[in-house]
Amino acid sequence: MKLLITGGAGFIGSNFIYYMQRNRPDYHLVCLDALTYAGNLKTLKSALAQPNFKFVKGDIADRAFVFRLFSEEGFDGVVNFAAESHVDRSVHDPGVFLITNVIGTQILMDAARAYGAKWFHQVSTDEVYGDLPLDRPDLLFTEQVPLHASSPYSASKASADLLVLAYHRTFDLPVTITRCSNNYGPYHFPEKLIPLMIVNALIGKRLPVYGEGKNVRDWLYVEDHCSAIDAVIHGGNTGEVYNVGGNNERTNIEVVRILLKHLGKSEDLIEYVEDRAGHDLRYGIDASKIRRDLGWKPQMPFDTGIQKTIDWYVENRGWWEDIIPHSAAISIHHPAELPGR
């Protein structure tokens, strides 16, 4: 089995590559990544040492390049992680999100059709559903909830999801989609909440928290997410969407305080800042379908996973120090000042 894994030098994609190398060692994996600011070839150092792994630098929105790659490699399947995914960046510059997340997905599916890939898996997000009220913890996102995107990022992912399902219906392309809750774990670029707060705390910078920090997210350890994708691509029904959640809802401020406690840092580092435009209140995933149909459920308790994540950032300072020099101010609130802008 030869798989194309797009966006494999990023956070979830790289973890998926390592998961597959451990659990499907006979598979041949080809990673396609444009190595934008959030992609890091050093992340794949161990993977590159394996004989059945290959890295290719390229853009999924480059049609000629993608078609040539499919022609040369003859992929059996595609797992599409490649995406612009940072909400604040999408508010600052929506255009690039449409090119990568929508046009790039279309080009990949066109190539999959042209060169006979047996299946195409789209990695999506719970953000396509919009948000839920804070005072209704009983409400959860099911796969039947209408799409109601709040940001240019989530709108681009919702558009890609609809396109994937349209390709299944119109062209009979074998597809599956997973929509996951917020991931955390190793190799996460320090612009999202958990890695940003860990890195800022370790280098003594302020920890910016939107509004009062009451927004709620469902946290999923990245390896659990990888096992869910593995279950779907090997046992899921064609044309189906599967929600993947961690059953670990926490407010943002609760997560920040947990991180500071584990790191032995003072809560005086917390800085409340002006809220994000259109900031979703709460995400809550109902993952009963994937549990019922495929027997999948998350294995990592949040307290254990967050400690493993903190330990990884403490023990791998060289990885993130290469990305974020101490002289650079990390801020999720001023996307134009982020590295790579």
Catalytic residues: 126-127, 153
Residue 332 and residue 50: Cα distance in Å, rounded? 36
Residue 17 and residue 222: Cα distance in Å, rounded? 12
- How far from each other are the two terminal CA atoms of the chain, in whole angstroms? 38
**Phi (first) and psi of residue 259, to 5 degrees:** -60, -45
User: Which pair of structure tokens corresponds to residue 158?
Assistant: 């919702």
Helix (H) or strand (E) holding 220: strand 216-221
Residue 289 and residue 274: Cα distance in Å, rounded? 38
Residue 316 and residue 187: Cα distance in Å, rounded? 9
Q: Which residues of 327-337 are buried (b: 16+ CB within 10 A; e: fewer)?
A: eeebbbeebee
Task: Count CA atoms closer than 13 A to 2's CA, side-chain side.
Answer: 15
Determine how many CB atoms are found less than 10 A away from the CB of residue 317. 12
